[in-house]
């Protein structure tokens, strides 16, 4: 079984401040972890992924995420938030060797000018 | 463009009617997924196709839901005897053989059952 938890329904941050969107996962075996972003009335877009190697993964639009195996977390971060980052963010997990990708319930990020 | 294409983009149907949703994956993508997203909720896995292998149907919520895919081409998701709780966005996604870890999503088909 595999699951993802995004504990915050919404995160508010002031423009220019650092942002963090939290994600924890549960999977038996090695996890492959992903972040996707959904802008209003748009499809989901891939941001970044962790497969193996360096725990800090860099992705699109200046986002990065850190894989923490001991805490089973994969939090999304950005040093300086932009108003245009306001969107719905989804964390996802896939167990190594399996194809099914399980998504979290999403976190709405609101960047305040 | 060359993205995942879904049709119809919007569909309003009466309760009890059957609906068929279509997905054209990116050319050459061997894997194809269907997800459902209810208003304000996360993505719910429905079904996964990989080439000519048997599909993973573990997410289909009831026997009213079915999906087909011929080879590595178009897929159709069929919902029979629609219910109001079927109202959602149905998202299709595909990924290439060489990079199954990057999934490309379509814009979705908005289904409203009245």
Q: What is the pLDDT along chain B (114 residues), one digit of tens a residue?
A: 579 999 999 999 999 999 999 999 999 898 999 999 998 778 899 999 988 888 999 999 999 999 999 888 899 999 999 999 999 999 999 998 877 788 899 999 999 999
Q: How many CB pairs under 8 A join A and B?
A: 50
- To test the contact with chain A by mutation, choose from B3, B4, B39, B101 the residue with the greatest count of A C-beta atoms within 10 A, namely B101
Q: Say if residues B109 and B6 touch (Cβ distance below 8 Å).
A: yes
Tell whether B43 is within 8 A of chain A (Cβ).
yes
Express each pLDDT in A52-68 by its tens digit: 889 999 999 999 999 99
**Residues in contact with B83: Cβ distance below 8 Å, sequence separation at least 6, in sequence order:** B15, B64, B113
Q: How many CA atoms lie within 13 A of B49 on its CB side?
A: 24
Q: Which long-range contacts (CB under 8 A, 24 or more apart) does A75-78 make?
A: A75/A20, A75/A21, A75/A22, A75/A23, A76/A20, A76/A21, A76/A22, A76/A23, A76/A35, A76/A47, A77/A18, A77/A19, A77/A20, A77/A21, A78/A18, A78/A19
Q: What is the pLDDT along chain A (113 residues), one digit of tens a residue?
A: 789 999 999 999 999 999 999 999 999 989 999 999 998 877 889 999 999 889 999 999 999 999 999 999 999 999 999 999 999 999 999 998 887 889 999 999 999 99
- To test the contact with chain B by mutation, choose from A99, A104, A106, A108 the residue with the greatest count of B C-beta atoms within 10 A, namely A99
CB contact (8 A) between residue A105 and residue B42: yes
Tell whether B110 is within 8 A of chain A (Cβ).
no
Residue whose C-alpha is closest to residue B92's, from B12, B20, B40: B20
Residue B96 CB neighbours (<10 A):
16
Confidence (pLDDT) at A43: 81
């Amino acid at each position: 079984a595999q699951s993802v938890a995004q504990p915050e329904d919404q995160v508010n941050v002031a423009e220019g401040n650092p942002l963090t969107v939290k994600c924890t996962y549960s999977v038996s075996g090695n996890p492959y972890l992903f972040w996707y972003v959904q802008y209003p009335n748009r499809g989901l877009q891939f941001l970044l992924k962790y497969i193996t190697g360096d725990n800090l993964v860099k992705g699109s639009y200046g986002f990065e995420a850190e894989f923490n195996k001991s805490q089973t977390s994969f939090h999304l971060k950005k040093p300086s938030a932009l108003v245009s980052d306001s969107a719905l963010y989804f964390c996802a997990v896939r167990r190594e060797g399996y194809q099914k990708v399980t998504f979290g319930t999403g976190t709405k990020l609101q960047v305040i000018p | 463009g060359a993205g995942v294409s879904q049709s119809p983009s919007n569909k309003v149907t009466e309760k009890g009617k059957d609906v068929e949703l279509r997905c054209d994956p990116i050319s050459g993508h061997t894997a194809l997924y269907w997800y459902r997203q209810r208003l304000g909720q996360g993505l719910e896995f429905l079904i996964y196709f990989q080439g000519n292998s048997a599909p993973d149907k573990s997410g289909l919520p009831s026997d009213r839901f079915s999906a087909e895919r011929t080879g590595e081409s178009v897929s159709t998701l069929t919902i029979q005897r629609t219910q109001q709780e079927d109202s959602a966005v149905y998202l299709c996604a595909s990924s290439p053989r060489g990079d199954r870890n990057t999934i490309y999503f379509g814009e979705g088909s908005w289904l409203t059952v009245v």
